[in-house]
Structure 1
């Protein structure tokens, strides 16, 4: 049972005093400023100190993200006019602006109000501010760290031709394997538990893979442009499997179109159309997390041999 210090307050006192219908919300907010359900000066000071340290960490990570992005931009300067490089630089600049927009929210200037542990409303307001600022700081740190990592990877890509070619070949292999899987799925429609679902899923995957093929074809052109600009030799047979995979993908698309029946189109046509409209505005280099989200928003649930 909570027992307040002389002239102190408990979590229950705060719950009774504030305008919050859910007691658990109040308890969660008060946790950093209480000990055993009692608001103490030591707990308040520790919570404020810990939050201030977290804010400093967030600001440092944002600065490091800016440095990493600047280093990447400097490394890519000789090839900055190559389309895919330019788009990546623009995208990273937008991300940096978004990360830096957190800065004003990371400077609340915490001051512990006088007599805070005796004033339920005041201590709750402070606890809520701490909760919200901590959440913002953690979000800022995550975004800054992600940007730093991606910028460092891009800097390596811009300065190391082997890394560029290896990454490209890995993506081409992914396309080749995915087209093989789709070819198998198209051949197995007749044996599927629900062929309409299998057909819709395969049709949507064809749309996504077609976008990926176009993305890789554009990247291959850009890799050749980069090689000419830097004098680095282009790898022999770069992406040799890409064009055959693109031809096989067109063949799979034709098979799926030929095997579709009107009821399948009636059932899944709107979803396929929505997917196509979602993908249409995307230009290389494509943000594949966005593509994945669009696909998952419209893709039917697949079971059995076609499970995803």
Structure 2
């Protein structure tokens, strides 16, 4: 039986970013240096495949420091943590390694500098997301106000409209964030923004590749986890850019075959915490059903690399 033809557009860049790569490496190097178990506060990155793989190697994932013994190393996830977490670890004399993405740490430093200059901070982010919780937790309660949409801006109760600054979660939609910033600037003309956009290079690059792909593909599959902010944004960006159908899939088994029945072109990308092995799995599943022709849609080249902390680069 002849397979129907399918053009598969493959986004470049896609998948792991430098911050995710570094965070996974930190857990693996910690296991190599100190042996199992090594505790990790929160999922190191938002991807079940990655977390399960590290768990099999001896990592123990917990949500709070209370769940960690004092005598084993603990690693803080790539999303960042409130200041109270390392303070508590130090008080308990725990050995800890901070795997916070350096681009998230940059936002933390930015927020602190603004606060030292007497400015109240407005954070553009998603309530409850660990990165937002971590950034807001760099300062005392009430010093950082959260907005999720432009509709939240009119209700903001600020101390002084002349003394404000904003920061953003690094994994947001570039377009959505621009709308919120515009609303903030319209209401608070004196508000200060970051010197350089907070949304990370990898988030921006993956969204741009999706926009380029959406012009060509009838459907789009985004490989990523449902709790991954940057993966979910890719689905939204694809749909908004004109792709008729966009679905988030963790694995090939999640593909809704009926939804893509009869289509002739599919775009594939992956969130910044999704490994390439899962992309290959999705491609293989499509190749089993279709006569696939692959075309790469490249919009940027990435060569960023972040060093792991010094404690892991020295012998035990």
Larger radius of gyration between Structure 1 and Structure 2: 1
Larger RCO of the pair (alpha carbons < 8 Å, separation 6+): 2
- What is the TM-score with the length of structure 1 in the denominator? 0.28
- What is the TM-score with the length of structure 2 in the denominator? 0.27
- Say which structure is richer in helix: 1
